[in-house]
Chain A
Amino acid sequence: MDEMDAIIGEFLVESYENLDQLDLDLVKLEQNPKETSILASIFRTIHTIKGTCGFLGFSKLESIAHVGENLLSKLRDGELTLNPTSTSALLAMVDAIRQILDCLENERNEGNVDYSKLVETLTRLQNGESVEVSEIDPAAAKTASTETVAEETPEPVAEETPEPVAEETPAVAEEPEVAEVVAEATPEPVSEDDDSTVEVEQRGKDRREGDPVKEAEHLAQHGERREESQRRQSEPQKSGGGVADTSIRVDVSLLDTLMNLVGELVLARNQILQYAPESRDSNFQTTTQHLNLVTSELQESVMKTRMQPIGNIWSKYPRIVRDLSISCGKKVRLEMQGKETELDKTLIEAIKDPLTHIVRNSVDHGIESAEVRAERGKPEEGVLLLRAFHEGGQVNIEIIDDGGGINPDKIKEKALSKGLITKEQAARMSNREFVNLIFAPGFSTAEKITNVSGRGVGMDVVRTNIEKIGGTVDIQSVYGKGTTLKVKIPLTLAIIPALTVATGGGRYAIPQVNLLELVRLDGAQAATKIEKIQDTPVYRLRGRLLPLVYLHKELGVEKVDKTDVINIVVLQADDRHFGLVVEAINDTEEIVVKPLGQQVKNISAYSGATIMGDGNVALILDVMGLAHKARVISQTQAKMRSETHGDGASKEGDRQTLLIIGLGGQRMAIPLSKVARLEEFNRKNIEHSGDQEVVQYRGEIMPLIYVGSLLGTSSGEAESREELHAVVYTRNNKSVALVVDQICDIVEENIKVKKSGSRHGVMGTIVVQNQVTDMLDIEKVILSVDPTFFNEEVAGLLEGN
């Protein structure tokens, strides 16, 4: 009966609230008898109680509420006017209801008090008969009730009151165990209530015979009420279905306030965390830990309250796509995946328009008409796929169509004719870059402007709007095959992880989303590794040039730190990478983003401010803004591509992420999926097991394999160095470390094995970053050293065979 208890509990809480309001309302009404809105509110309250207790099987309560309601309805309709007698009677009714509720709460039944007199009084009042004041004195009712309770007299329900529910379940009056009654009554709550409603209607008819207009009105009201009571029922029923708590409507502004407060709490927590290690009080330390945990959980829960499935905005797309495809004379099927992917409500609002625009664009420009599709050998019906999923703390939304794709040449032509790019720039640009030009302001390739899209505003606005909320948008298109738009947005805006750095005596926060890696150069390295092209400093990061931006120069502050250590924060802005040189790198912290005042809002280098653990304010760097300011982004030649240089080649082959290693001056590639970890070992830690060099690694003994000497490409470098770079390969809880000369890079490439392997341990040869690279056959290499490595795996799987 726990579920029932929960429902009754809810009913009690709600009813108490309503009754308190009722008391106030009734008194107010007495002072202002003409105020129909108060009367209507009272009527609704009583009606609600009646409906719910009818459903719960509290017949006595219902009978009282029922007559009260009848009286109120007459008052409301103006058939009767409120006089002190009826007010007292209604107040007595409120008291009686409260009494029963008390009884329900304490004893789980409606109690044995006889309310027939009250019911009679109310009925007489409703019929316009006069009633002696003494009869309805609420105080008298109370005394009577205490007496009767003491005597424990079983109570027949007043005869003249129509009692549909009581008639059906006569046990209620006599049965002290309400729990059982409820159990009996609940299986058919709806029918019960329906009966009672019908009954009410009949009664209404009886009383109002000869007044057809009133009758119609009355019926109309009852129709309304029936709806209301059904709605009432559906709520507790839902909760009875297994979930103990029901949902409630909450004002979004309240959630915002809550979020802000949690933000404050996070700040306070950060502050305390900073002091905790200094304290020797172990109690304080444990409490701090606890506070830390609770705060994190609270933060998560509050965030969840603001989360909404993306399906909420997608739900209107089928209609949009349908209308649009009909007006364009196309056949488009809309598919959606990951509707349930959740993100913050403010973000949902923010991406609504950009997404709609993209969808419209895809239907209008992307997908071809049925005839064209047929000509091109595609199915007549185009497919527009919307996909949403979480990845790396971000929400990814992809809009994929199998339409005509974007013709890079056309874009080039257009961009040149509009003067968006110069010929020199065009010569250097890849197809991918051309395609991304559609995001440039003032660009539109539509040959004819439709009413849907193609006015040259649009994609740049889409991009701006998405970037405004810290997101990115990327487009990939294969001419003739289709277009994929990838939108990445953060889960939430309010609290984000960030790296804090220091420069010129100030502290700045860099959102983790933009962060790729950290590079530290000290001593001789610092002096030599930074090279200059004209006056632009660059750093060779794993063989590729990384443009450097000095934060203190960009911000125009004096450098404080005079040491020669150089800290480079490698950042990503758009698909370009650049290194931000800062004086010190502090820590990562959850920060609460606060907006800047209007006087400083326009400084593009900052996206907001936050309060640090020590209570001071730190500015949050806007990486995009900084990149623009330092002109990292606008210079196409400064772009460091994270993808292939080859243009059309990216159409074929599987896209794979590869780890590039150096072996005796050669580059080799290993699929990243086969790499468990990258480790560095000190030679000191190497031990021997027979002939095999091993290290202790995470509680097991891991053999070392010198890939270089094995393949005969060794320069002897790996064997002699103090620090060993190793690629850890793990299979079936067994690990092996492949020692290499160098860990060069991780790249995402379209793998197209150009030449199959001829040498031992080489799977094949591919072209990565325009360089011929051998693909390491990692399994073969391991086998050649430890022929049992995989055998045992099989044996293990076959349970010791």
Chain B
Amino acid sequence: MADATQFCTFYLNKHFFGIEVEKVQEVFRYQEMTPIPLAPPTIKGLINLRGQIITAIDLRKRLQMPDRPDGELPMNVVIRTPGGAVSLLVDEIGDVLEMSLDDYEPPPDTIEGIARDLVRGVYKLEGTLLLILDTTKTIDFGEPVNA
């Protein structure tokens, strides 16, 4: 199983996503956050994670998906990045799955929209596809936010 990788999986608008498990610091339920006026809408706010302040990014917004229905609280997937921890807000957390490279394929060119940039690859599962997020690109908004 040398070519197998473990992924932390989650759901976003009924799509199934995964992030390499070693990039994930922790996963926790919804927590109150402080909104940041002037920040782009993708940034939901700041969270106090045991004394550390981390930025929460709304993945639905980031992936240009429709907003989460009212009343549904997102979950936090905290990933480690060179610039400190960042929380990704997702709909629901899935299992940690071990995937074999045999099932891997690069994303088809026909994927549309921003997903094309942010999805690094696809694992074929029975009945569904696991989309692997490029975390570096996900948290990098390119141009500095100008306020």
Contacts and interface: CB of A to CB of B under 8 A. Distances in A.
Interface stretch (B20-28, B37-45, B98-106, B126-134): B37-45
A451 interface: no
A286 B43 CA distance: 42
B11 to A, nearest CB: 23
A507 B47 CA distance: 14
Interface of B: 32-39, 43, 45-48, 51-55, 57, 83-84, 86, 139, 141, 144-147
Nearest to A592: B51
- Considering residues A556, A557, A600, A611, which has the most beta carbons from chain B within 10 angstroms of its beta carbon? A600
Contact of B51 (A557, A606, A611): A611
A18 interface: no
A617 B43 contact: no
Contact of B147 (A267, A507, A604, A617): A604
Given A555-B38, A602-B145, A267 B51 contact: yes
Nearest to A267: B51
B77 to A, nearest CB: 15
Given A597-B84, A603-B39, A506 B34 contact: yes
Interface in A611-629: 611, 615-619, 629
B48 A615 contact: yes
A322 interface: no
A599 B81 CA distance: 12
B53 A594 contact: yes
A619 B34 contact: yes
A598 interface: yes
Interface in A737-755: none
Given A267-B51, A555-B38, A602 B147 contact: yes
A661 interface: no
B36 A598 contact: no
Ranked nearest first, the 7 interchain pairs of A and B with the lowest CB-CB distance are A597-B55, A555-B37, A602-B144, A617-B34, A603-B147, A598-B83, A617-B46
A594 to B, nearest CB: 5
B38 A597 contact: no
Given A599-B141, A606-B36, 20 more contacts: A506-B35, A555-B37, A556-B37, A595-B84, A596-B55, A597-B83, A597-B84, A598-B84, A598-B139, A599-B145, A600-B39, A601-B144, A603-B38, A605-B147, A611-B48, A616-B34, A617-B45, A617-B46, A617-B47, A619-B34
Nearest to A508: B37
A728 B114 CA distance: 69
Contacts of B83: 597-598
Contact of B46 (A267, A619, A629): A619
A473 interface: no
Contacts of A598: 83-84, 139
A555 B84 CA distance: 25
A499 B18 CA distance: 43
Nearest to B54: A597
Contacts of B141: 599
Contacts of A596: 46, 53, 55
Contacts of A506: 34-35, 37
B62 to A, nearest CB: 10
Contacts of B39: 599-600, 603
24 contacts: A504-B37, A506-B34, A506-B35, A506-B37, A555-B37, A596-B55, A597-B53, A598-B83, A598-B84, A598-B139, A599-B139, A600-B39, A600-B43, A600-B145, A601-B144, A602-B147, A605-B38, A606-B36, A609-B53, A610-B53, A616-B32, A617-B47, A617-B48, A619-B36
Interface of A: 263-264, 267, 504, 506-507, 555-557, 594-606, 609-611, 615-619, 629
A618 B84 CA distance: 18
A599 B51 contact: no
A618 B45 CA distance: 10
A506 B146 CA distance: 21
A609 B46 contact: yes
Contacts of A600: 36, 39, 43, 55, 145
Contacts of A601: 144
Contacts of A267: 51
Nearest to A556: B37
A602 B37 contact: no
A615 B51 CA distance: 8
Contacts of A610: 53
Contacts of A603: 36, 38-39, 145, 147
Contacts of A616: 32, 34, 48
A616 B83 CA distance: 22
Contacts of B147: 602-605, 629
Contacts of A605: 37-38, 147
Contact of A556 (B33, B38, B46): B38
Contact of A264 (B38, B51, B139, B145): B51
Contacts of A606: 36
Nearest to A594: B53
Of A594, A597, A598, A611, the most chain B CB neighbours within 10 A belong to: A597
A594 B83 CA distance: 13
A264 B48 CA distance: 12
Nearest to B143: A602
Contacts of A611: 48, 51, 53
Contacts of B146: 602
Contacts of B38: 555-556, 603, 605
Nearest to A602: B144
Nearest to A606: B36
Nearest to A618: B34
A629 B37 CA distance: 14
A138 B36 CA distance: 70
A583 to B, nearest CB: 13
A679 to B, nearest CB: 40
A610 to B, nearest CB: 8
A467 B44 CA distance: 29
Contacts of A264: 51
A599 B86 contact: yes
Contacts of A557: 37
Contacts of B48: 611, 615-617
Contacts of A504: 37
B100 to A, nearest CB: 34
A618 B48 CA distance: 10
A597 B86 contact: yes
Contacts of B37: 504, 506, 555-557, 605
B86 to A, nearest CB: 6
Nearest to A609: B53
B34 A599 contact: no
